[in-house]
Amino acid sequence: MKNILLILLTGSLLAACTPKSETTTTTTTTTDATVPDTTADTTLPDTTVDTTDTNEAGVDNPIAEGEGATDNAADPGVDSTLTNDDAATAGEEVDMAVGDGLEGTVADFDGTAQTFTLNENDANYAVTVTPDTVFEGNATTAEEFFGTDRDAADVAVEGEIDEAASTLTANKITLN
């Protein structure tokens, strides 16, 4: 009887050490809720400029930017892009593309008064400088820039544009 009792006791101890399998029940409750769309609209506006010339009946001749292409008078900066094949740096082009400046040729140059007219395709802007105006490119000071006749020179001018008065107060002038 001792043997049987020992066997039963050993069996119960072994049964107590055996891992038990547990059953877990998960209940998922779903609710129908409308979540507002919080994604941002990243669509950029179309800034394409039509640069086709229809001088001949039924024939479109593309005009390269900066070579007689028409400008958008409502937004003079539309042709100040990296595609217009000028000498402005990428940073200058970005500044000008957002409306901070213009590119074109110098006309009505007055070195004594330190003023000139910027001919930017089909628009003209009277450019004035201040003592804080920065000069870059082939002339790095006001004396260098205005010391030589710059009529027909290619320039990029950044500054305050007054489209109503067709004036531009220059913060930076880059002579190409």
Q: Domain extents for the chain? A: 59-175
Whether the CB-CB separation of 156 and 173 falls below 8 Å is answered with yes
Global pTM value: 0.48
CA 4 to CA 48: how far, in whole Å? 97
> What confidence score (pLDDT) does residue 61 get?
40
Q: Structurally, what CATH architecture does the domain formed by 59-175 represent?
A: Beta Barrel (2.40)
- Residue 73 vs residue 160, higher pLDDT: 160
| High-pLDDT (> 90) share of the chain, % | 36
Whether the CB-CB separation of 129 and 170 falls below 8 Å is answered with yes
Nearest to 68 by CA among 139, 12, 119: 119
Residue identified by tokens 């110098």 is 106
> What confidence score (pLDDT) does residue 80 get?
42
What is the per-residue pLDDT across 122-136, written as a single tens digit (0 to 9) for each? 789 999 999 999 999
Looking at the DSSP assignment, which residues form a beta bridge with residue 154? 105
The alpha helices in 1-140, defined as continuous H runs, are 2-17, 90-95
CA 33 to CA 36: how far, in whole Å? 10
Sequence-distant (≥ 6) Cβ neighbours of residue 51 within 8 angstroms:
62, 63, 64, 65, 69, 70
What is the per-residue pLDDT across 39-91, written as a single tens digit (0 to 9) for each? 666 666 655 555 444 444 444 443 333 333 344 445 544 444 445 555 556 66
- pLDDT class of 92 with cuts at 50, 70, 90: low
- Name the E strands within the chain: 52-53, 61-62, 101-110, 115-120, 123-137, 154-162, 167-175
With a cut of 70, say whether residue 5 has pLDDT above it. no
8: its two tokens: 């039963």
